[in-house]
Structure 1
Amino acid sequence: MAATTKALEDPGLWQLMARRPAVMIALALFVLILLAAILAPWISPADPARMSVRARLTPPGAEYWLGTDAFGRDVLSRILYAGRTSLTIGLGVAVISTIAGIVIGLLGGYFRALDAPLSRLIDAMMAFPDILLAISLVAIFGGSVVNVIIALSIVYTPRIARIVRAATLVIRELPFVEAAHALGSSTRTIMIQHILRNIVSPIVVQATFIFAYAMLAEAGLSFLGVGVNPAVPTWGTMINEGRQTLDQAFYLIVFPGLAISLAVLSLQMIGDGLRDALDPRLAKEA
């Protein structure tokens, strides 16, 4: 009976997030953006690469809902396809940097001999502004989707590594970890089963933020002309191309800028909602 009462009193993650209408709206918006990008080949009104001299710089209207660019390409179709690339970059960076950050953080936090050198490496990387470090790495690797993902993953890995290291330093001294040592558990088992499982919440929250940061960083790199190949549509490359005809067709910047703003804002709000729901103190207040 007590267990049943406790289960009724302790709402789950979904119920906690559902109490915040803004978070649910952000989640629905991001899912809509994600579906639009995935279904782009089937729902886009035109080929995003098809050019038409006759239709160049056509303003939004019945034929072209969001207008056309300087080459006569349909802006709506390009935004849908660009979303596939931008979201892929954001997801790729979030996954790679999270995995790398977990490995570095666990090693540095658990093994005392590795803590100092890994901490100095993390501090040195975080001493550089994100965008400057990203520009340097992309200049070294070259401009492509894969290279941009690798470069941004290197930039954001220290964010995860610091969180994991700090949590590992605390958890490794707790009684249940000492008990696992006494029972003969392997180092791998202790690190994964006893430490990593207890720090999943802050990692997930930070990963959502990195997803958003990576898309913004990619847009910044593309706007500066050092991101992915200009032939590959991303929201950043579209903004970069649109600024050249800003006086004639301002919508070429407005619509892709709105797309990336909505995607990033929704991810940030989802991250805030997850943080509040996964933090026991904040969840209790909710």
Structure 2
Amino acid sequence: MGGSSSSSAGSAPSPSQTPTVDPATYRHALTGTLGPLDSALRAVDRAHEGGSLNKALDTAATKADTAAMTLQSLATPDNAITGNSQLSSALRQLGQDLKSARGTGGRCATSPRVELGTARGPQRVKEAGRALTALGYDASLRLPRTEQAKHRRLGNGAFVRDGSRGGLGRLTVRNGTGTDAVVTLTRGTRTAFSVYVRTGSNATVRSVNSGSYTVYFTTGEDWNSAKGSFTRQCSFEKFDDKASFRTVRVAGGTQYTVLTFTLNKVIGGNASTSTVPPGDFPS
């Protein structure tokens, strides 16, 4: 007789499932991650321009980088995965923008708040934060205030600084550089006068005293009178040869010096110039 056998099929194991991340847990972790950065950004908002603002920018940049890395490894609910990733990426860019905006504190330094006003990072952070907040995950940050670029100018021929002038010499400056300029004449270490010359314009200074002068000029955009320099596209130069003014009496009258300086590359011109370190430019 043949034997019979029976077999029973065991139940198949259930596939493992990834537990759903509790929204409340993520919400708490998100708040903890963004809190230190929010405090650092508020400090940037309060800081005065200069060393205080630069220090606040450095701190905020570090906090932004830290928050971005933390978000990358954060357990995230399904509906927040995209927004969390976008916010992490935006915070990385914000950190770079905060570092780039840091001012040098010297002449020809655009305000960090102007730099931040044109940066993409803060806008990306706003967009990503709004998307997460709309889903019930508060990702709002107090981004620092910004400023628009200024376009301050003086009138053509206006004196930035004017000393005692009582001679008969005359200096005409023609500005063909494409940007405004300030021309400064010095005798030794003392500034005789500084005159503002708008681009495409001529300005004449009369009553220049006799003597030998070094002629400096700075060009750029947005004249900051407090710093005595332009804030954008600025350069500092001087003419290699000195300007000499003489007044002498001759038969029938007086003979005096009339000079013209052109602030651009003139074909056939013979007045060479040299770049001057910003700190060496006379104030």
Same fold by TM-score greater than 0.5: no
TM-score category by the smaller chain?
A: under 0.3
The TM-score, its normalising length taken from structure 2, stands at 0.25
The TM-score, its normalising length taken from structure 1, stands at 0.24
- Bigger Rg over Cα: 2
